[in-house]
Structure 1
Amino acid sequence: MNNKIKKFIKNFTYTFSANALSIIISTVLILIVPKYISVTNYGYWQLYIFYSSYISYMSLGLTDGAYLRFGGYEYKKLPKPAFVSQYWFLVFFDIVVNFSIALFYGLQSDDPSKTIVVIFTCLTGILVVPRSLLTFMLQATNRIKEFSIITILERIIYFFLVIVFLICGVRKFEFLIFADVIGKICSVIYSFFVCKELVLGKFESLKVSLKEILVNISVGSKLLFANFASMLIIGIVRFCIERNWSINTFGKISLALSISNMLMLFINAVAVILFPALRRTSEKNFPAIYRIMRSIIMVPLLGLLTFYFPAKILLSAWIPQYTESLVYMALLFPMCIYESKVLLLVNTYLKTLRKEKLMLVINLITVGISLVTTSIIVFIFNNFNLTILSITFLLALRCVVAELALARILKIQVKKDIILEISMTVVFIVVSWNLNNSIAMIVYFISYLLYLFIKKNEILSLIKNSRVLLKSK
């Protein structure tokens, strides 16, 4: 086994361990927390998670630009003084911006609970944005072990504190948020030690520092806005749900989204190591690698949709107060198929090929469609079912458009596979929503077997030729 294969397997082991732990912790929290706190408290907790997912984008694109520019570098070859300057620039910038947001919201808000959520969210921004520069550099330079430990440390502390609070009878959402903040603080401290050369040391000259900051922002802003727009596709729908219905409804739908998104943690484990690996790979191998990775992802993911049916029964028995939201998993569960493909394959390839502008255009178009369709469905028709279904529709639309654009660049054919996957998604949603749970599972399983029969030649070819994935000449 050559060194490249060993390195890939070693890095995958680290990221798989970190993300497997995250999946376990997320699963336990998804199952435990809603059981013991009120629907309202759960709603505010999910609102904090929702807001904090956006506050982390206050890097102006600097961290994204550094990630793109230095992806594939050796850590020791990074310009350390320039990164010290950029790190502390982010610290100062985020303190000013987040303090201003918290002050402004606090002065005009009439909801004390939401004010607490916003204040904690702003504190989170001060912690995670500067840290993202360090974690991005660890990923870009293939220091996957240290990056994984940062992830593991944050999640373990968060999980431990939440369980302690619940055992002690604490049922307020503020303490759940506090646990998350403490976990982030500890991970930030650890990141100082593993990236001390990027945090503590000699500053670069003001002229060079400003030049590096502006170059990274210029390079990364397209990727930042592309990722931000990607989140807005679902974010607009969730925001309208919270505004038009209630915090309780928002919490219930957030639970269904959390369950549907659990698979994304594992997919992210592969995406983390695939980008630097592709940067070191000849472009002539890109089409072959894409076809292999596509089959590796999509074949098992479509099969995993079968687990929705027993999961619905078990979760309904465990948290009956959320039975209504679990019904909507029938509409949301397929979103993991399209999000997984975009995160692991499409976006990774577009970043490697430096097509951030294309990512941005596709995501902005989808955001525009999301804004129009959601406004009509929510505020004119007031149709909750269609609102939830629109999430999967929008993500599928974005995925199909982006993959077709990428396929043109790589000069490969994917239309047949796209049609098959859309067909499987439609079958799953229709039978899950309209048929008895047991009958629906049987119908979908038969459909999946038919899908495997259609794909049998590609699957057999994949097994025979999977070593192509690890070649890089």
Structure 2
Amino acid sequence: MNARFVLKNMFIAFLAQGISLVMGVIQSLLVPKLLGVTQYGYWQLFIFYVGYVGFFHLGLNDGVYLINGGKSREEIDKSLIYSQLVVATVFEIIVAIIISIIAIISGFGSERVFVLVCSAIFMVVQNAASYVMFVLQAMNETKLSSYSTIVERGVFLIPLAILLITRTKVFEPYVIAYIFSSVVQVLYCCYQVREFPKDGFMGWNLAVRESVESVRVGSKLMIANIASSLIVGVCRFAIDAKWGIKTFGQLSFALSLLTLYTAFVGQASMVLFPSLKQSKEAEIKQFYVHARDTLSLVFPVAYALYFPMAWILLLWLPQYAQSMAFFVFVLPICVFDSKMDITCTTMFKVIREESRLLYINLATVACSAVGVFFGTYVLNSVYVAIMAAVIAIIGRSVYSERFIARKLGVAETSISRSEILLTLAFVCMTELLPGVVAFLGYCAAYAVYLFAYKDRAKEILGVLKKI
């Protein structure tokens, strides 16, 4: 594995996602300031729904990614790639029309109908863009895929700035601007593969047959990814149904900040897969061990950042005090979900254990759903519902690390157990102690944690210096 090439691609991917992160922070801090809790709740409902549009490509994008991963632009079958995009787009247009008709005749309120129809439109556009981005990533042209993210975020900035300057206090224009930016993104992506249609459309029979094969290969990974998002998603569905749009908006504000972070660090997985797929077994083992331990030592710093961030956010958005209370319990998602994405999910794809990843995620969703139902409808507690989802995510990460370690034949580590204790210490200190005392107490606990694994930290630093 060419470490310098991977790091260069990773830098560009992080730059692209860094721009998204800045945009997301602006969006998360300024939009709720203008919209108010109810209108912001509908905006978050749209963001929530579009997070699941990937389900409707049925795994085609993932299948194309897995089948063609590691092939160069010269080697890839351009006619096949183009033909499958046509099939997918036609299918999703039909699905979008059906969703829109059902939404309109369902009797939902006008705001929810608008959200559902716009989500259906976004599905067609975004899945097409996602398809081309997966193709670019499979060809190890992750720079172009990253640039498309920069284009999409940059285009969204213009109408967002206008809406903020004009102090637009209804959510609908923000949704339209969001869809418009995705339209520009798909046009950019198609331009990057503009020579593919020149090889011609292979005919509907063959195109549909090949698309079904890609769906067969990628469906497990797609369902695994959707299931991964449903671990917290079932909690959000339950809270919306039980406590309404305002409480949903409060929780969604906290989760939106976490989503920005996990999306940012998740770019590493996008870059690593095509490179690791071409690597030797010894390199894969070495990468996994170093990545696992590095992330376990570094990511808990996020807990220390909670204290200044919460203080600033409460000054800016005092009406979202409830969100900060939720934030304490959902912050471990930053640590454990990010680790899962970068190390475990990447490795499951590299060693072609998509079935195992699917079973793990489905089992985790089931555990989360049971806990969320118990917390919501038996104990009538938002906090128990949230904690059920978070505990499920932690359990998934720990189990996946152990499974991959055994599969690769590498030693397991005690760092994960210590990391869980550190997480528990953070939650307890934050809930039971005054803010400053809790901050100092956690910093002391984190220092002890790092000291306990100082030899491993030095070893990792030595490896990084050699790159």
TM (norm. structure 1) is 0.96
Q: Contact conserved, 2:70 with 2:278, CA < 8 A, in 1?
A: yes
Q: How does 1:375-394 map to 2 (within 5 A)?
A: 375-394=373-392
How many Å apart are 1:201 and its aligned residue?
4.6
Q: Contact conserved, 1:65 with 1:220, CA < 8 A, in 2?
A: yes
How many Å apart are 1:17 and its aligned residue?
1.1
For 1:36, give the aligned amino acid: L
**Matched position secondary structure for 2:299:** helix
The verdict on how the C-alpha distance between 1:26 and 1:199 changes in structure 2, with shifts beyond 3 A counting, is farther
Q: Which of 65, 69, 74 in structure 2 is aligned with 1:67?
A: 65
- State which drifts further: 143-152 or 287-296: 287-296
Q: How does 1:300-339 map to 2 (within 5 A)?
A: 300-339=298-337
Q: Which of 257, 266, 270 in structure 1 is aligned with 2:264?
A: 266
| Structure 1 Cα separation of the partners of residues 337 and 197 of structure 2 | 34
| Structure 1 Cα separation of the partners of residues 257 and 152 of structure 2 | 20
**Matched position secondary structure for 2:300:** helix
For 1:338, give the aligned amino acid: F
Match of 2:237 in 1: 239
The verdict on how the C-alpha distance between 1:398 and 1:199 changes in structure 2, with shifts beyond 3 A counting, is farther
| Structure 2 Cα separation of the partners of residues 375 and 170 of structure 1 | 37
Matched, 1:138 2:136: yes
Deviation by residue 1:70-99 (Cα, 9 ceiling, x = unmatched): 111102211011111100101100000111
CA RMSD of aligned residues (A): 1.5
| Structure 1 Cα separation of the partners of residues 299 and 220 of structure 2 | 30
Match of 1:89 in 2: 87
Q: Contact conserved, 1:192 with 1:199, CA < 8 A, in 2?
A: no
Q: Which of 169, 192, 195 in structure 2 is aligned with 1:194?
A: 192
Report % sequence identity: 29
| Structure 2 Cα separation of the partners of residues 243 and 209 of structure 1 | 41
Match of 2:457 in 1: 459
Match of 1:28 in 2: 26
For 2:320, give the aligned amino acid: Y
Deviation by residue 1:169-223 (Cα, 9 ceiling, x = unmatched): 2111001111100100111111111012345650114453233212211110110
| Structure 2 Cα separation of the partners of residues 16 and 369 of structure 1 | 33
Number of aligned residue pairs: give it.
Answer: 467
Match of 1:58 in 2: 56
Q: Which of 101, 112, 115 in structure 2 is aligned with 1:114?
A: 112
Q: Contact conserved, 1:370 with 1:394, CA < 8 A, in 2?
A: yes
Q: How does 1:70-219 map to 2 (within 5 A)?
A: 70-199=68-197, 201-219=199-217
- State which drifts further: 85-94 or 281-290: 281-290
How many Å apart are 1:457 and its aligned residue?
0.4
Match of 2:444 in 1: 446
How many Å apart are 1:464 and its aligned residue?
1.6
| Structure 1 Cα separation of the partners of residues 197 and 149 of structure 2 | 19
Deviation by residue 1:405-441 (Cα, 9 ceiling, x = unmatched): 1111012233412111111111111111121111111
| Structure 1 Cα separation of the partners of residues 334 and 302 of structure 2 | 10
| Structure 1 Cα separation of the partners of residues 104 and 427 of structure 2 | 42
| Structure 1 Cα separation of the partners of residues 355 and 383 of structure 2 | 34
Q: Contact conserved, 1:377 with 1:387, CA < 8 A, in 2?
A: yes
| Structure 2 Cα separation of the partners of residues 225 and 179 of structure 1 | 29
Match of 1:278 in 2: 276
Match of 2:41 in 1: 43
| Structure 1 Cα separation of the partners of residues 172 and 199 of structure 2 | 37
| Structure 2 Cα separation of the partners of residues 238 and 252 of structure 1 | 11
The verdict on how the C-alpha distance between 1:6 and 1:289 changes in structure 2, with shifts beyond 3 A counting, is closer
Deviation by residue 1:223-242 (Cα, 9 ceiling, x = unmatched): 01111111111111100000
| Structure 2 Cα separation of the partners of residues 286 and 201 of structure 1 | 36
**Matched position secondary structure for 1:328:** helix
Q: Contact conserved, 2:348 with 2:357, CA < 8 A, in 1?
A: yes
Deviation by residue 1:129-170 (Cα, 9 ceiling, x = unmatched): 122211001111111221111101111111221121121121
Q: Contact conserved, 1:61 with 1:224, CA < 8 A, in 2?
A: yes
**Matched position secondary structure for 2:169:** coil
Deviation by residue 1:256-292 (Cα, 9 ceiling, x = unmatched): 1112233213212211111111011101222211121
| Structure 2 Cα separation of the partners of residues 256 and 465 of structure 1 | 36
**Matched position secondary structure for 1:246:** helix
For 2:325, give the aligned amino acid: V
| Structure 2 Cα separation of the partners of residues 256 and 292 of structure 1 | 31
Match of 1:346 in 2: 344
Structure 2: segments with no counterpart, 5+ residues: none
The verdict on how the C-alpha distance between 1:82 and 1:28 changes in structure 2, with shifts beyond 3 A counting, is same
Q: Contact conserved, 2:373 with 2:385, CA < 8 A, in 1?
A: no
**Matched position secondary structure for 2:9:** helix
Q: How does 1:384-463 map to 2 (within 5 A)?
A: 384-463=382-461
Structure 1: segments with no counterpart, 5+ residues: none
For 2:431, give the aligned amino acid: W
| Structure 1 Cα separation of the partners of residues 380 and 179 of structure 2 | 36
- State which drifts further: 9-18 or 441-450: 9-18
| Structure 2 Cα separation of the partners of residues 126 and 43 of structure 1 | 24
How many Å apart are 1:9 and its aligned residue?
3.0
How many Å apart are 1:16 and its aligned residue?
1.6
Q: Contact conserved, 1:57 with 1:129, CA < 8 A, in 2?
A: no
Match of 2:371 in 1: 373
How many Å apart are 1:466 and its aligned residue?
3.1
| Structure 1 Cα separation of the partners of residues 71 and 449 of structure 2 | 41
| Structure 2 Cα separation of the partners of residues 217 and 333 of structure 1 | 34
The verdict on how the C-alpha distance between 1:199 and 1:187 changes in structure 2, with shifts beyond 3 A counting, is farther
The verdict on how the C-alpha distance between 1:172 and 1:200 changes in structure 2, with shifts beyond 3 A counting, is farther
| Structure 1 Cα separation of the partners of residues 9 and 121 of structure 2 | 32
TM (norm. structure 2) is 0.97
| Structure 1 Cα separation of the partners of residues 12 and 463 of structure 2 | 25
Q: Contact conserved, 1:82 with 1:208, CA < 8 A, in 2?
A: no
**Matched position secondary structure for 1:142:** coil
For 2:131, give the aligned amino acid: L
The verdict on how the C-alpha distance between 1:284 and 1:5 changes in structure 2, with shifts beyond 3 A counting, is closer
Q: Which of 244, 250, 253 in structure 2 is aligned with 1:252?
A: 250
